[in-house]
Structure 1
Amino acid sequence: MTQGTASPPRESYREVVARLSAAQKSGRGAPAYSRFVNRPLGRRLAAAAYLAGATPNAVTAASGACSFAGIAVLALSPRGWLVGVVVAALLVLGYALDAADGQLARLRGGGSPSGEWLDHMVDCAKISALHLAVLVSTYRASRAGDLDVLWCLLPLAFTVVASTAFFAQILNEQLRRAHGVESARLAQGSSPLRSLLAAPTDYGLLCLVFLLLGSSVLFTAGYGVLLLGSAGYLALALVKWYREMGALGRRP
């Protein structure tokens, strides 16, 4: 009587997390929260999804569902401390799942063009929708007498800054890949100091600022500081990126 070949032992959760840690992609250009908090959190969610047999696209869908649920609560609910906690929790979970889908794809042997497209489309939609939800929330607060209606200009400006930064990031990656320099750039890594300097642009930090939603004054102040930091960082980065793209055009 012949015996069947024994199946390989199933990896434990801890082993999957360790394998992901060893294969972590470069942190170059990633701000502090995204690099030191969100990626480790996403790694653990990716390991759980892998052991559950979930696909990267399913994790992307879960990320979008959490993020847009938080955005809906923000736009449709009156401001308050509990609402702020709910919004922040949903956005933080959505962001962690956003980090998990790519890590899950690497565990399963690599991502797909359709998966990358879906991930970027969800990111693009949520970035604009979040600031437009802040606009709705700010307008509602102004109607209640908590703020002057002119503060509605802040989320309008942040929508432009955030969408421009996201488009530039994606375009830069594609142009570098087309000229064969993206892999070498990522291999250089990034210092923790650079991650801290990029903190105002961190989507994860933006998620946390909604914890201040119980006070319109505190929230507007925190949101405004992030807007100023993001706009200043983008202005400097655009100059650098333009010169970098010009150098790519002169490569042999």
Structure 2
Amino acid sequence: MTAVAAPGAGETLVGTVRRLAGAQKGATGAPAWSRFVNRPLGRVLAALAFHAGLTPNAVTALSATWTASGIAILAVAPAGWVTGAVVTACLVLGYALDSADGQLARLRGGGSPAGEWLDHVVDSAKNSSVHLAVALALWRLADLHPGWLLVPLGFCVLAVVHFTVTLLNEALRARHGARTRAERTAERPGVLRSLLVAPTDYGVLCLVFVLLGAPAVFLGVYTALALATAAYLVLALRRWYREMEGLTR
């Protein structure tokens, strides 16, 4: 992780945000929400945390708290517009804080293996539990056919596979001397690609929960995201497998 230059005396919050933006990691492979919304929002939160004297692990804990709160509300509260708005707000803030912890680490001189480990633990928990919470929310709908519960359960499997394979790809690339994502930071993919892979973005999933007040609409959009993620993963797995084959040649 590349550290950001030390601040000057009396640096303002705006100055910290600008300094961090200048050392922002590249956008290689980033979907639209993560690239254009979540990362800039995380940058502001990282600067706020920096001036408040918080550590990256403390920000990770805040991210986990907000995300867990949103997932818990989704799992137990009646479906409705207010519930959807609260769940979305909690998840969006939790996701922004998830971006902020790494950016704060750069401001403070670089991250640690323990901090990266903690961040991945939180990510792995949220990626699966959010879909299990959707299953519980749908289960409480009296007029919904039980077969629809297979959608969030299948989406949960897709999310776990996607997250696990992404981490495994990076580990194998590093082991065999191939360029990792972190080493391709100078690349700047086009906006079109970011938009095409947007359905796979966790941030887009967070936004879908504002539709909880209209369960049929929510379920339709949620199912569409699941299908889009499945299609993306099928294509990506084939490409990644070929890449892994090439690592030993």
After TM superposition, is the score higher than 0.5?
yes
Q: How many residues align?
A: 240
Instruction: Using structure 2 for the length normalisation, give the TM-score.
Output: 0.94
1:91 and 2:91 matched: yes
2: CA distance between counterparts of 1:113 and 1:42?
21
How far 1:184 moved relative to its partner? 4.1
2: CA distance between counterparts of 1:186 and 1:74?
36
> Residue by residue, what CA displacement relative to the aligned partner does 1:16-43 show, whole Å, maximum 9, x if unpaired?
0001100000111110000000000000
Question: In the alignment, what sits opposite 1:208?
Answer: 207
Q: Which amino acid aligns with 1:65?
A: T
Where do residues 34-113 of structure 1 align in structure 2 (5 Å cutoff)? Answer: 34-113=34-113
SS in 2 for 1:213: helix
Q: Which amino acid aligns with 1:93?
A: L
How far 1:174 moved relative to its partner? 1.2
1: CA distance between counterparts of 2:105 and 2:248?
33
Q: Which amino acid aligns with 1:70?
A: G
Query: Is the 8 Å Cα contact of residues 27 and 187 (structure 2) preserved in structure 1?
Result: no
153, 159, 164: which one aligns with 1:167: 164
Q: Which has the larger radius of gyration?
A: 1
Runs of at least 4 residues off by over 4 Å: none
Q: Which amino acid aligns with 2:176?
A: H
2: CA distance between counterparts of 1:179 and 1:46?
33
> Residue by residue, what CA displacement relative to the aligned partner does 1:103-145 show, whole Å, maximum 9, x if unpaired?
000000100000000000000001110000001111111xx22
Q: Which amino acid aligns with 2:167?
A: I
Question: In the alignment, what sits opposite 2:154?
Answer: 157
Instruction: Using structure 1 for the length normalisation, give the TM-score.
Output: 0.93
2: CA distance between counterparts of 1:104 and 1:83?
31
Question: In the alignment, what sits opposite 2:5?
Answer: none
CA RMSD of aligned residues (A): 1.0
2: CA distance between counterparts of 1:186 and 1:54?
27
How far 1:241 moved relative to its partner? 0.4
